[in-house]
Chains A and B, each alone.
Chain A
Amino acid sequence: QVQLVQSGAEVKKPGASVKVSCKASGYTFTSYGISWVRQAPGQGLEWMGWISAYNGNTNYAQKLQGRVTMTTDTSTSTAYMELRSLRSDDTAVYYCARTNYGSGNRWFDPWGQGTLVTVSS
């Protein structure tokens, strides 16, 4: 079955960086993109960006431009999200999700199980 498995929880100090992985299985990795979404404690969903697993093209949320980098490794069917210069308000659960290509079709299904990133001094 189609599955996305994310790396484990992280605790980071302010100013540090974090890199979360998302390993895909059960489908042809390059036939879909991967989106990243985060959810702060008790809050709603925030779209962070998207990467094409086919050619590596990316699209990032404006508020994260310059701090976030999304990459893929097609040899291992794994996507990565790196967030730099961490602040306390980056504390959240980070999700990856498989995403169709094509404008209007890019719903998210399935999602990874989530990775808790805690930023604390």
Chain B
Amino acid sequence: DIQLTQSPSFLSASVGDRVTITCRASQGISSYLAWYQQKPGKAPKLLIYAASTLQSGVPSRFSGSGSGTEFTLTISSLQPEDFATYYCQQLNSYHALTFGGGTKVEIK
């Protein structure tokens, strides 16, 4: 199975900060990557698919980039409602749609 490694696993930041989360795949996955946001006690929410396409309704401060084995999720100016855990997911393998381990973004 394709493994995804997210870094950092924990991030402390202030409102207004620019935040970048990295997701590395154990083998090339083209642009077949999605990003999700999960708040405590809630289901995950799709933010970005195809590595860089913003899901409808998601604020433009979120952006994604990358292809092959290295991907990033960037929040250009962190807002109070963005404090959550973020997961990447590879969509390349038909047999296993694995997730990264998650990055928890907390208030500094």
Tell me whether A59 and B49 are in contact (CB under 8 A): no
B94 contacts A59, CB within 8 Å? yes
**A106 is an interface residue with CB less than 8 A from chain B:** yes
A103 within 8 A of B: yes
Chain B residues within 8 Å of chain A by Cβ, number: 26
B97 engages A111 (CB within 8 Å): no
The A62-100 residues at the B interface (CB cut-off 8 A) are 62, 95
- Prevailing SS type, chain B contact patch: loop
Query: Among the interface residues A35, A37, A108, which one has the most CB atoms of the partner chain B within 10 A?
Result: A108
Alpha-carbon distance between A37 and B36 when the two chains are bound, in angstroms: 13
Task: Please tell me which stretch of A13-21, A23-31, A40-48 contacts chain B, meaning at least 4 of its Cβ atoms lie within 8 angstroms of it.
Answer: A40-48
Instruction: Identify which of B10-18, B67-75, B84-92 touches chain A.
Output: B84-92
CA distance A108 to B36 in the complex (A): 9
Query: Looking at the complex, which one of A50, A107, A112 makes contact with B43 (CB distance below 8 Å)?
Result: A112
Contacts of B98 in A (CB 8 A): 47
In contact, A61 and B96 (Cβ under 8 angstroms): yes
Q: Mark A44-56, 1 if CB is under 8 A from B, else 0.
A: 1111001000000
The 9 closest A-B pairs by CB, nearest first: A111-B43, A109-B46, A107-B49, A107-B34, A104-B32, A45-B99, A44-B102, A47-B97, A44-B101
Residues of B within 8 A of A (CB): 1, 30, 32, 34, 36, 38, 43-46, 49-50, 55, 87, 89, 91-92, 94-102
* A-B CB contact pairs (8 Å), 23 listed: A37-B99, A44-B102, A45-B44, A45-B87, A46-B99, A47-B89, A47-B98, A50-B97, A59-B94, A62-B1, A95-B43, A103-B32, A103-B91, A103-B94, A104-B32, A104-B91, A104-B92, A107-B34, A108-B36, A108-B46, A110-B45, A111-B43, A113-B43
